[in-house]
Structure 1
Amino acid sequence: MVERTVGTTPPRVMTIAGTDSGGGAGVAADLRALAACGVHGCVAVTAVTVQNSVGVTGVHTLPPEIVAAQIETVATDIGLDAVKTGMLATTPIIQAIAEACDRTGIGGDGPTPLVVDPVAASMHGDPLLADSALDAYRTVLFPRATVVTPNLDEVRLLVGIDVHDRAAQYEAAKMLHALGPRHVLVKGGHLAEDTDICVDLYYDGHTFVELPGPRFATGDTHGSGDNMASAIASALARGLPVSEAVVLAKRFVIEAVRNSYPLGAGHGPVSPLWVMHPWWRDPG
């Protein structure tokens, strides 16, 4: 019998999100990104979606107590170095997550950073969040968040600003920060005035930092927000400050979009697998 080599346990990051049966977003995208970032991914599923590259045709939410139990059973045994959220679907689920986080030291003043990606709709425009849950994001989850990462559509729903230029992006960051998160990243992928670049805006309550990147001529950007939040959580799990984590995550997502691929008849996913060494081709 060959003696095995015992590896070093990597940082542990949980995604609290819904499934995507097409594999482009949700927990599937999160776990790919977490693995590519070198961390161990754990999962608390909030909802099951019937989804492919064209759209979402069905959603089944899990009982809030089951969502909370997934978080607590992992946190109290395996331990968590960071947590990120995705599709949370309903107010009762958000409330259950917040209570589970309080009990396990996630977010707020606890030791485990919490990255909140306030997913409200799929990239096809299909709703993934009950309207009543927007207030739960604002009043329950944002005050516990280490960093929030909304896109411009989510900004409009959360703080009522249509961001059409850089000045409005700055104003939105300030309004989001006033809701309680320690840090804000307003993603600029949907900003029409930026034709050649994509500028995400980071704000810590005192300082703004613009994070520019190239704008690629592709519609295959499914799961880009999941990858961004997962990469931030992975960097935080390694002990990096948020200001450095968002810079690294931006670089990670740029390459993920650069290496995106077509899938099905609709929008293909971004690919975090650009970081993987092709060991199956070159065993050396």
Structure 2
Amino acid sequence: MINSTPQVVTIAGSDSGGGAGAQADLKTFQARQVFGTTIFVALTAQNTLGVQSVHSVPTSFITAQFESLAADLDIRAAKTGMLADSQIVKTVVEAYKTSNFGPLVVDPVMIAKGGHPLLAEEAIETIKQELLPIATVCTPNLPEAESLVGHAIETDEAMVDAAHYLQQLGCPNIIIKGGHGTGDTVRDYVLLEDGTSFWLLAPRIDSRATHGTGDTFSACIAAELAKGVALREAIIIARRFIQGAIADRIHVGHGHGPTNHWASLSNDVMVEEII
């Protein structure tokens, strides 16, 4: 029975306000019944009104955290969030290659809800060239996908093209989230390694309580993978989880509030197959 409980790690920054970052990941892990662990790469002073300060963790300490977990725990899946700068990205990539942490979900966090940059501009290329090739799945929102591909994404066709471009960089499974788009329905495009693809459709919810949605979504995928759930099903569960977490609002702070990690899976998410 030693190490038999599913274990997962978030490699991310700390959100002192508790709505995003590693804190949101840990709440998601707990809700999805896996044991969550952390590798902190940065600390932030932030709340629902925004980010006031960022402090990067020394790369030697990041490596030490990897080594500590690998020496004792049985990490079955991992996710990255805020990685701050190119040197941290490189450190995470090298440490991950020597760890047996299972499939890797990359959430390419770039900007906080309030607009504060969480990734140095020069680190975008490092993510493309070094992190994506070791990832199992990448989950950019529209602005993040635009930064990765280098141009605007304004149509369904452009989302499809962007996903194929990112897949060609070495990440076999791509999810481009449409929450930053327009219209009454949010459309997320999913491209899988075997060449199949589908859309996830859900009603757009008018809410300012959306802080940490990307972290929560990607953390849920990692949690399901750690339990042995197939990737396609893990993605659908994660979309239902975040839809419920936004719809069943909690009231915290005066700005962009957090999602509700106590919420149930939503039945409002539809799968549109592509033939």
**TM-score under structure 2 length normalisation:** 0.92
Aligned to 1:247: 236
Residue 282 of structure 1 aligns with which residue? none
- Residue in structure 1 matched with residue 270 of structure 2 by the alignment: none
Q: Is the 8 A contact 1:161 1:168 kept in 2?
A: no
- Superposition pairs of residues 134-153 of structure 1, within 5 angstroms: 134-153=124-143
Question: Among residues 189, 210, 215, which one is paired with 1:201 in the alignment?
Answer: 189
1:65 to partner: Cα distance: 1.6
Work out the CA distance in 2 between the residues paired with 1:248 and 1:201.
Answer: 15
* CA deviation map 1:182-220 (0-9, x unaligned): 10010110112xx21111111024122101111111111
Alignment of 1:214-233 (within 5 A): 214-233=203-222
SS of the aligned residue for 1:217 comes to: coil
> In the alignment, which of 17, 22, 34 is matched to residue 27 of structure 1?
22
- CA drift of 1:8 comes to 8.6
The DSSP-based 3-state class of the residue aligned with 2:263 is helix
Shift of 1:9: 4.5
Residue type matched to 1:271 in 2? Answer: N
Task: Name the amino acid aligned to 2:207.
Answer: T
- Aligned counterpart, 2:105: 115
Matches within 5 A, 1:154-233: 154-192=144-182, 195-205=183-193, 206-233=195-222
| Matched residue, 2:120 | 130
Contact 1:161 1:172 in 2 (8 A): no
Query: What amino acid maps onto 1:10 in structure 2?
Result: T
Q: 2:175 and 2:261 mapped to 1: Cα distance?
A: 20
- Secondary structure of 1:81's counterpart equals strand
Q: Which amino acid aligns with 1:204?
A: L
Q: Say which SS state the counterpart of residue 111 (structure 2) adopts.
A: coil
Secondary structure at the residue paired with 1:104? coil
Distance 1:8 1:129, change over 3 A: closer
| Cross-structure match for 2:263 | 274
Distance 1:275 1:209 in 2: 23
Q: Distance in 2 between matches of 1:268 and 1:153?
A: 20
Aligned to 1:279: none
Checking the alignment, whether the CA contact within 8 Å between 2:107 and 2:218 is kept in structure 1 is yes
Instruction: State the TM-score, normalizing by the size of structure 1.
Output: 0.89
Post-superposition CA distance 1:103-130 (Å, at most 9, x none): 1134xxxxx0000000011011110011
Letter in 2 for 1:259: D
Q: Letter of the aligned partner of 1:233 in structure 2?
A: A
Q: Contact 1:183 / 1:242 at 8 angstroms: preserved in 2? A: no
Q: Which has the larger radius of gyration?
A: 1
Kept after mapping to 1: 8 A contact 2:14/2:23: yes
**Among candidates 68, 71, 89, match of residue 63 of structure 2:** 68
Which SS does the other structure have where 1:198 is aligned? strand
Inter-partner Cα distance in structure 1 for 2:200 and 2:71: 36
In the alignment, structure 1 segments of 5+ residues that lack a partner are 1-5, 107-111, 277-284
Task: Determine the structure 1 residue equivalent to 2:9.
Answer: 14
Q: Secondary structure at the match of 2:63?
A: helix
How far apart are the structure 2 equivalents of 1:165 and 1:262?
34
The CA deviation at 1:251 is 0.8
Answer whether contact 2:75 2:100 (CA < 8 A) is retained. no
32-41 or 202-211, which deviates more: 202-211
CA contact (8 A) 1:163 1:191 kept: no
CA distance in 2, matches of 1:161, 1:256: 31
Identity, % of aligned positions: 40
Compute the displacement of 1:143 (Å).
0.1
Give, in angstroms, the shift of residue 261 of structure 1: 2.1
Which amino acid in the other structure matches residue 245 of structure 2?
Answer: A
Q: How many residues align?
A: 264
State the secondary structure of the residue aligned to 1:73: helix
Gaps of 5+ in 2: 266-275
Q: Which amino acid aligns with 1:256?
A: A
